[in-house]
Structure 1
Amino acid sequence: MRSQIASGLRVTWWSRQDRRPTGGRIVPSGIVRSGIVRSGAVRSRPVSPRVALTAVALVGLIGLVGTGCDGSSPAAGNRPSAGTDASGGSGRPTEPDTPAGFDVKAENARPGADCGLARLGEGHAVEGWLDRVGVDPGQPVRLFASTTASRLAVSVFRIGWYGGHTCRLITRREELPGRVQPSAAMNATTNTVSAASWAPTVTFDTATWPPGDYLFRLDSSNGFQSYVPLTVRSPSAQGRIVILNSVTTWQAYNAWGGYSLYHGLRGFADRARVVSFDRPYGYGDGAADFTGNEAPLVTLAERLGLPLAYATDIDLHAEPRLFDGARAVISLGHDEYYSPRMRATLTAARDAGANIAFLGANAVYRRIRLAPTPHGPDRLETGYKVANEDPLYGRDNSQITANWPSPPNADPESSLTGGMYQCNPVHADLVVTNPGHWLLAGTGLAAGSRIPGMIGSEYDRVDPNRPTPQMIEVLAHSPVACHGQADYSDVSYYTAPSGAGVFDAGTSAWVCALLDVCGPGAHGEPVQRFVTQVTTTLLQAFAAGPAGRVHPAARSVPAEARSTPVTGSER
């Protein structure tokens, strides 16, 4: 586990080797008693010391200085917008701030604020969840919070680039009544843990909230804090780059109450087959994978002033027309879990000319189904992983929740992503093989140049023996060893007949390296300089329209190829 403060936002990296956090506020343990899961205590740890971070913007290397976690009030003029108290608390809404339409540059000219965590909750001292993973501006959202304290305050922050801060305070509610909510219930058939019986704490009106990624910070009166994430969707993606939050992957790894799609109390065999969004995230300080694998890219994209739109991956399933006219769709650091409709929507966007960037590895690897709960649509995520365990096996194989490359309905992700997931864990240098590629302009790299520690812990490879786009180029072909087997990780770019360009970073360390907050491996200024320069070039080209019309790919793949993947630890 490695934690840092990135301009006031606490970023936590956790190991993917066994798919569990490795320390701190980790996956809660649980004890099953008469069908009820009572989550066990988890350790508390201090926030890491403030660190200075650097990033490369278009103008060159600029220092990013982290701010403290002192819980100070927002700067004058940064007026919060109104919220409503569902529990009858005495907190008073403040005067709303009503921007006249969303513009990234205008939004980021507003005063920033500190949104860090000064003290993590011990056990379940303070935690919460929302009844929506994403909302349109103006839709209400309810917070369900539990705390051992008598009172609770809630601050809502938008993530961006505010003159050195990564956050802007949107609203703050004070003096809400605190309560310990009921223990979570469990469906013993699918090991689904749910906190759906919790009572709402407060309802927020989002009418004045611009599209973007948000963190709710819960501050208990006994001094503990945690996050809850939310996406405010853009009304349209027309002419914009869509930043896609990978909430289905967040939930797959969420073991709050003792069960995730990876493990239960006894390991893989008693894992959950269905997980619910009606519960807190038990890792990432309540923000799941957002702070380390997504927020660094959000910060860079907003700092560049690009035309942005925001959505979750569930919107690919539920709102496919939202992506009409998008210039690009950005899949962030870990975007693994896709329903058939999600994949079809993203493929259709590419075929209509939208560029796609997969800024991680292991994307579009798991097939899932989504279903409603009493709190709303698409709040249950089904993922059996083993095909013949799925009740639809032999009845509707197109919907079976096995891996996309696996039978009985194999459809490897590489036809969309370019690269194909191979194995984990690895830690290796990225090795440049095509230094003249347009995406490497300005890096000063030569053939054979190495970027220390950039590959891992998961990686992709271009495999011509699998379904792979014809016009694909490999920029970096990096030797790795996974579970004793020699292999390669590839950074790739291809162009589709529509003119769309598709980039696959081929490593799960890409996004976290933007703010130097990765775990073991990708650290230091040379790494950060490289990944930020390439990402800046990529985003600016993708914002201009179908990249293949300006930068068409020519087939260029390494000679090494094989027909079977390395056997990894992905379960």
Structure 2
Amino acid sequence: MRHNTEDSGGGPGRRAVLGLGAAALAALPGTVARAAARDAPPHHRQALDVAAENALPGAADWRITRAGPARAVEGFAERVSVLAGEPLGLRVSTTAAAYTVSAYRMGWYGGRRARLVHRSGPLPGLRQPAAATDAATRMARAPWRRTAELDTSGWPEGSYLLRLDTTDGRAQRFVPVTVRSPDAAGRTVLVSAVATWQAYNRWGGADLYRGKSGTAASRALQVSFDRPYANARGAGQFLVYEAPLVALAEELGLPLAYTTGVDLARDPHALDGAAAVVSLGHDEYWSPEQRLHVTRARDSGTNLAVLGANCCYRRTRFEGSPVGPDRVAVCYKEDYARDPGFRRGLPATNDFRRLPDPDPESTLLGVIYAGYPVDAPYVVTRPEHWLLAGTGARAGDAFPHLVGVEFDRVNLAHPTPRPLEILSRSPVVCKGRPSYADTAYLTLPGGAAVFATGTMRWVEALDATGPAGGRANHGLDARAGHFTRTVTANVLRAFARGPAGRDRPAEDNVADPVPGGPTP
């Protein structure tokens, strides 16, 4: 049964939502869909004009204002990303008689941060079963039926939050999804860290850290994408660790492309010709395939910006579920020997740096994860560097709370590519142990540059506008917001022009004494 829809916010023409009992349209396989997009006439595959998109009217009412009771409405998408025009199945559970779906494209939009691209008519509500848990792995999933299918024809590439609203006005929840770009040539690629979102998602009882007993012994060994996100009212980690950067990048009007870590793992050509790739605030869980493809892109001249910490730390594997391919993230960590995949000869799903196949993330990033938890000032040590131009910072300037809650550093005990330039060294104390967090700039023989912030709070700080000591954004203030926005804009603009290391090679200072801390 087809339900009427309403198109809003300057969106394109035909869009449909198929309700309960509708026959699902078969989604094109990724490689076929990508080839079709690339072979299409130019007007069908023209890259997104970010400035023109953000000149369209934004929506001030995209946020959730009525969370409602637990399980009043919640849902998940059957795919983490689609190409525009591909059908997107939703599985929604609600106690209400009906609900609607509003698709908001996230961006700048004059500061409103979102544009309404599509709104459905009322869809029949259905209370779906409770979570099902696999006894062997403690993986929770939602064994739900498809309740709706969205036609994404004409949806611009980008990061989306679908908002579910019960028609009785009592409850709302988000469902995140990416309308990914068909190619990345000449563009800066923003990568949503969906595997990390799931690693910290405790919907159904367990995530990759702890389970129903609250201890590590009850943690899951695998996590499923076939369930809603329990945190941030369904948005996962998008709103804190990604949305502020998406807004800034779109405000700058740079040529952008959008994808997810799952898609980078699946497609060895997803980064072909990209000017830069951006890892956002919390991007911990990578598959070996994702790491291989990002490394190849970096070595061929694609710049890499790591705007967080703890990046590429856990080695994971994607497996299929009854819903579709790559719907399970496997990470046994220190129990990797129990992993049936490892017993079949697949890579261990533990930390990249650890045996039996150590490959520290420092070989890709220049910095390496150093610890948790910390809360410390960020200290500027090389204010003359071109990436800090316009910040007004001076040597020794400190930005309270900007280093946290995890941090990276340069550590020559691990393989570290050179030349590597430390821009800021911030003393920290982690679990009673003195250390330091580093912001670093690395250049490679192929011309690419790597910028790594060394702190997980960098993207969150982009939104900091309040007074010193304020409660918002972990106490980050307007000074920290100005500093991080200026540096990030410098990075994004430089990296969007192509291999930054050719014109601006790093001046190696790893062995130099740096004010504020010891040498690595």
- Judge same fold: TM > 0.5, yes or no: yes
Distance 1:77 1:137 in 2: 16
Contact 1:387 1:400 in 2 (8 A): no
Change (3 A) 1:478 1:273: same
Residue identity in the other structure for 1:122: P
Give the corresponding residue for 2:425: 477
Tell me the CA shift for residue 390 of structure 1.
Answer: 3.1
Q: Is the 8 A contact 1:99 1:208 kept in 2?
A: no
SS of 1:370's partner is strand
Aligned length: 481
Is 1:377 aligned to residue 325 of structure 2?
A: yes
Amino acid at match of 2:163: R
Amino acid at match of 1:257: G
1:419 aligned onto 2:364: no
Alignment of 1:72-83 (within 5 A): 77=10, 82-83=15-16
Alignment partner, residue 455 of structure 1 = 403
Within 5 A, what are the aligned runs for 1:191-270? 191-195=138-142, 197-222=143-168, 223-266=170-213, 267-270=215-218
Asked whether the 8 Å contact 2:161–2:175 carries over to 1, the reply is yes
Letter in 2 for 1:192: M
**Structure 1 pair 198–392 and aligned structure 2 pair: CA distance change class (3 A):** closer
Q: 1:225 to 1:435 in 2, by over 3 A?
A: same
2: CA distance, partners of 1:83 / 1:199: 19
Partners of 1:307 and 1:445 lie apart in 2 by 29
Please give the TM-score of this superposition, normalised by the length of structure 1: 0.81
Q: Residue 305 of structure 1: SS of its match in structure 2?
A: coil
Conservation of the 8 A alpha-carbon contact between 2:244 and 2:460: yes
Is 2:414 the partner of 1:500? no
1:120 is matched with which residue: 67, 79, 83? Answer: 67
Counterpart secondary structure, 2:204: helix
Q: Cα offset for 1:100?
A: 8.5
Q: Do the aligned partners of 1:78 and 1:111 also contact (CA within 8 Å) in 2? A: no
Match of 2:104 among 149, 157, 175: 157
Three-state SS of the structure 1 residue aligned to 2:405 is: coil
Question: Residues 65-91 of structure 1, C-alpha deviation per residue, up to 9 Å, x if partnerless?
Answer: xxxxxxxx99775567512222269xx
Deviations 1:512-544 (A, max 9, x none): 111128966452210100000000000000000
* 1:143 alignment counterpart: 90
- In structure 1, what is the Cα distance between the partners aligned to 2:519 and 2:455? 19
Given the alignment of the two structures, is residue 324 of structure 1 paired with residue 272 of structure 2, yes or no?
Answer: yes
Matched AA of 2:103? V
Q: Cα distance, 1:433 vs. partner?
A: 1.0
CA–CA distance in 2 between the matches of 1:241 and 1:455? 26
Deviation, structure 1 residue 192 = 1.1
Distance 1:258 1:394 in 2: 25
Superposed CA deviations along residues 292-346 of structure 1, whole A, max 9, x for unmatched, are: 1000000010111000000001111101201100000000000000111111011
Asked if the contact 1:455/1:509 (under 8 Å) is kept, the reply is: yes
Read off the aligned partner of 1:246 and give its amino acid letter: A
Deviation track 1:145-169 (CA, whole Å, cap 9, x = no partner) reads 1111111011001011212311111
81 and 542 in structure 1: CA distance in 2 versus 1, 3 angstrom threshold: farther
Letter in 1 for 2:147: T
On the 8 A contact 2:7/2:15 being kept in 1, the answer is no
Check whether the contact 2:11–2:154 (CA below 8 A) recurs between aligned residues: no
- How far is 1:396 from its partner? 6.3
- SS at 2:481 equivalent: helix
For residues 382 and 178 of structure 1, the distance between their equivalents in structure 2, rounded to whole angstroms, comes to: 32
Superposed CA RMSD in Å reads 2.0
1:86 paired with 2:19, answer yes
Counterpart contact for 1:80–1:172, Cα < 8 Å = no
TM-aligned CA deviation for residue 185 of structure 1: 1.2
Structure 1 residues 171 and 394: alpha-carbon distance in aligned structure 2, compared to 1, 3 A threshold: closer
Partner of 2:40: none
Residue 186 of structure 1 corresponds to which residue in structure 2? 133
* 2:16 partner amino acid: G
Aligned mate of 2:504, from 551, 557, 567: 551
Report if aligned partners of 2:460, 2:473 keep a CA contact under 8 Å in 1.
no
SS in 2 for 1:538: helix
Q: How far off its partner does 1:420 sit?
A: 0.6
Distance across 2 between alignment mates of 1:218 and 1:125: 10
Taking the aligned partners of 2:295 and 2:126, their CA distance within structure 1 comes to: 45
Q: Distance in 2 between matches of 1:252 and 1:116?
A: 24
Aligned twin of 1:361:
309
- Give 1:523's aligned residue: 476
Partner of 2:118: 171
Q: Is the 8 A contact 2:332 2:339 kept in 1?
A: no
The correspondence for 1:284, drawn from 232, 244, 248, is: 232
How far apart are the structure 2 equivalents of 1:309 and 1:265? 39
Cα drift, residue 495 of structure 1: 0.3
What is the aligned-residue identity percentage? 47
Unaligned 5+ segments in structure 2 are 1-5, 23-42, 466-470
1:311 counterpart SS class: strand
Q: Tell me if the contact between 1:170 and 1:209 (Cα under 8 Å) persists in the aligned partners.
A: yes
Which residue of structure 1 lines up, in the alignment, with residue 487 of structure 2?
A: 534
Question: Secondary structure at the residue paired with 1:200?
Answer: coil
1:323 partner SS: coil
1:203-262 CA-partner distances (Å, limit 9, x unpaired)? 111121111000100001232101000001101100000000000000111110011111
Q: Aligned equivalents of 1:104 and 1:233: distance in 2?
A: 14
Paired with 1:553 and 1:154, the residues of 2 have a C-alpha distance of 48
Q: How far does residue 561 in structure 1 lie from its aligned partner after superposition?
A: 5.0
Q: Measure, in 1, the Cα distance between the counterparts of 2:174 and 2:231.
A: 10
CA offsets per residue over residues 354-402 of structure 1, 9 Å max, x none?
Answer: 0000000000000011111121111111001114543359746761111
Secondary structure of 2:489 counterpart? helix
Deviation at 1:99, TM superposition (A): 9.1
Per-residue deviation, 1:464? 1.4
Q: Report SS of the residue matched to 2:122.
A: strand
Q: Which one has a larger percent helix, Structure 1 or Structure 2?
A: 2
Counterpart of 2:299 in structure 1: which amino acid?
D
Q: Deviations over 1:19-59 (max 9, x none)?
A: xxxxxxxxxxxxxxxxxxxxxxxxxxxxxxxxxxxxxxxxx
* 8 Å contact from structure 1 (residues 80, 170) kept in 2: no
User: In 2, are the aligned partners of 1:430 and 1:452 still within 8 Å (CA)?
Assistant: yes
Question: Do the aligned partners of residues 88 and 112 (structure 1) sit closer, same or farther apart at CA in structure 2, a change above 3 Å counting?
Answer: farther
Q: Distance in 2 between matches of 1:179 and 1:396?
A: 41
Q: Aligned ranges for residues 102-113 of structure 1 at < 5 Å?
A: 102-113=48-59
Corresponding residue SS for 2:175: strand
How far, CA to CA, are the matches of 2:383 and 2:93 in structure 1?
A: 53
Say if 1:109 and 1:184 are closer, same or farther in 2 by CA, change over 3 A. same
- Quick one: higher RCO (CA 8 Å, sep 6+), 1 or 2? 1
Distance, in Å, in 2 between the alignment partners of 1:377 and 1:104 is: 31
The amino acid across from 1:226 in the alignment is: R
CA gap 1:408/1:341 in 2 versus in 1, 3 angstroms: same
TM-score (norm 2): 0.89
Query: For residue 29 of structure 1, what is the aligned residue in structure 2?
Result: none
